[in-house]
């Protein structure tokens, strides 16, 4: 396959959308250059207040410092904030801080753009106090790189919010889950071990579960200990639980196995009633966080906490997402998720 070439601002901005798989909103997007090659793409939410610009810039620069092959970086601000005549340049302290942090880390900031709902411009125009001349976003559709990516089958979604399967528990499936939960309460060791073995068998063989098997697994997930054990076991690594849960291992996880788990968890939601939905929703959000899909992870946490406002793991992950913490696997090209 021919290598991807960026030869214009329209190419670079199109590549950001294709690399992420969706069009970012209120986001800072950085693309690493490794010599003449394209490296990883990072997207983070823009800060809500410029008072924390220095801390924010330090955290973003730290993420790129992990890539020892990085030599330069392309930056784009995707925002609805106005930047035209009569308006101050948005996020000026942030961009200034980023340039300084990257320079300190030995990375050259090659270009910075600002991208709005209908146009984009070079962030540093002829006048230091204003941005460059606006270019309509329509030109992205006709860029050489965009045409090449579309030809290769790449599409840019409107946003990063994954559709959450509707809860469709029938009286029969709800009764089956509650009966399985009573069995767990009466004989926890035996039933939780059986639920673990069933989960593992379904995961490793990617087989189609029956409603009865789904009910047994869903009942087991209501036990916090089993839930955490399944999460830590999901990546297929022989590593300490805390390192696995935070995606902080040097070895890449078995992403195909995690994809199978994601599919199985979505099947569990199809039989889940609201009182039993927080566990699979939170685990799905955790998988999205591992993959670096923060917006989708936050969406799962929001729905989980709607059903159970006191669900501890969902609250913890929601706080991590709010603080802009990125999983260790998503930060390194050797371990990050690249899809099937």
User: So what's the pLDDT on residue 216?
Assistant: 95
User: So what's the pLDDT on residue 130?
Assistant: 83
Q: Sorting pLDDT into bands at 50, 70 and 90, what band is 160?
A: low
What residues does 295 pair with on adjacent strands?
none
Chain centroid, CA 105 distance in Å: 25
Per the listing, tokens 């889940």 go with 272
Per the listing, tokens 């399967």 go with 165
Residues in the chain: 340
How many CA atoms are closer than 13 Å to the CA of 143, on its beta-carbon side?
Answer: 25
Q: Which CATH superfamily is domain 9-151 in?
A: Cytidine Deaminase, domain 2 (3.40.140.10)
DSSP states of 214-270 as a string? Answer: HHHHHHHHTSHHHHHHHHHHTT---S-HHHHHTT--SSPP-HHHHHHHHHHHHHHHT
Q: Taking the model in full, what pTM does it have?
A: 0.68
Chain centroid, CA 156 distance in Å: 15
Are 42 and 29 in contact, with CB atoms under 8 Å apart?
Answer: yes
pLDDT tens digits, residue range 58-105?
A: 777 776 655 667 788 899 999 999 887 778 888 888 888 888 888 887
pLDDT tens digits, residue range 163-187?
A: 666 677 788 888 899 999 999 999 9
| Selected residue with higher pLDDT from 172 and 263 | 263
Asked if residue 5 has pLDDT above 80, the reply is no
Mean pLDDT of the chain: 85
Are 112 and 76 in contact, with CB atoms under 8 Å apart?
Answer: yes
Interior CA angle at 162 toward 158 and 167, to 5°? 140
Q: Is 302 exposed, middle or buried (0-12, 13-18, 19+ CB in 10 A)?
A: middle
Alpha-carbon distances of 231 from 2, 165, 196, 241, 247, rounded to whole Å: 38, 20, 11, 9, 11
Alpha carbon distance 307, 321 (integer Å): 19
Asked if residue 338 has pLDDT above 90, the reply is no
Structure tokens at 155: 């599409």
The DSSP symbol for 35 reads T
Are 300 and 164 in contact, with CB atoms under 8 Å apart?
Answer: yes
Domain boundaries in the chain? 9-151, 171-331
The DSSP symbol for 338 reads -
Alpha carbon distance 90, 114 (integer Å): 9
């Amino acid at each position: 396959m021919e290598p991807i070439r960026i030869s214009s601002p329209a190419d670079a901005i199109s590549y950001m959308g294709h690399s992420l798989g969706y069009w970012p909103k209120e986001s800072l997007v950085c693309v690493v250059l490794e010599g003449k090659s394209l490296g990883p793409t990072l997207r983070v939410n823009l800060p809500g207040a410029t008072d924390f610009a220095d801390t924010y810039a330090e955290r973003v620069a730290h993420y790129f410092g992990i890539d020892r092959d990085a030599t330069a970086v392309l930056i784009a601000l995707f925002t609805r904030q106005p930047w035209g005549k009569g308006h101050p340049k948005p996020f000026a302290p942030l961009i200034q801080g980023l340039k300084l942090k990257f320079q300190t880390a030995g990375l050259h900031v090659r270009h910075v753009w600002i991208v709005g709902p209908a146009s984009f411009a070079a962030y540093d125009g002829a006048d230091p106090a204003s941005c460059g001349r606006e270019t309509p976003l329509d030109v992205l559709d006709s860029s050489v790189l965009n045409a090449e990516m579309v030809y290769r089958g790449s599409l840019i979604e409107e946003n990063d919010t994954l559709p959450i399967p509707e809860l469709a528990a029938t009286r029969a499936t709800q009764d089956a889950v509650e009966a399985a939960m009573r069995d767990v309460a009466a004989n926890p060791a035996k039933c939780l071990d059986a639920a673990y073995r069933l989960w593992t068998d379904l995961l490793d063989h990617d087989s189609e579960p029956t409603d009865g098997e789904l009910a047994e697994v869903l009942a087991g997930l209501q036990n916090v200990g089993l839930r955490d054990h399944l999460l830590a076991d999901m990546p297929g690594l022989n590593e300490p639980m805390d390192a696995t849960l935070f995606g902080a291992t040097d070895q890449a996880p078995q992403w195909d196995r995690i994809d199978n788990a994601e599919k199985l968890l979505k099947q569990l939601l199809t039989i889940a009633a609201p009182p039993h939905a927080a566990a699979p929703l939170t685990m799905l959000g955790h998988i999205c966080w591992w993959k670096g899909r923060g917006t989708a992870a936050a969406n799962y946490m929001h729905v989980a906490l709607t059903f159970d406002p006191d669900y501890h793991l969902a609250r913890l992950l929601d706080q991590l997402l709010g603080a802009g913490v990125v999983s260790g696997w998503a930060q390194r090209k050797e371990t990050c998720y690249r899809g099937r």
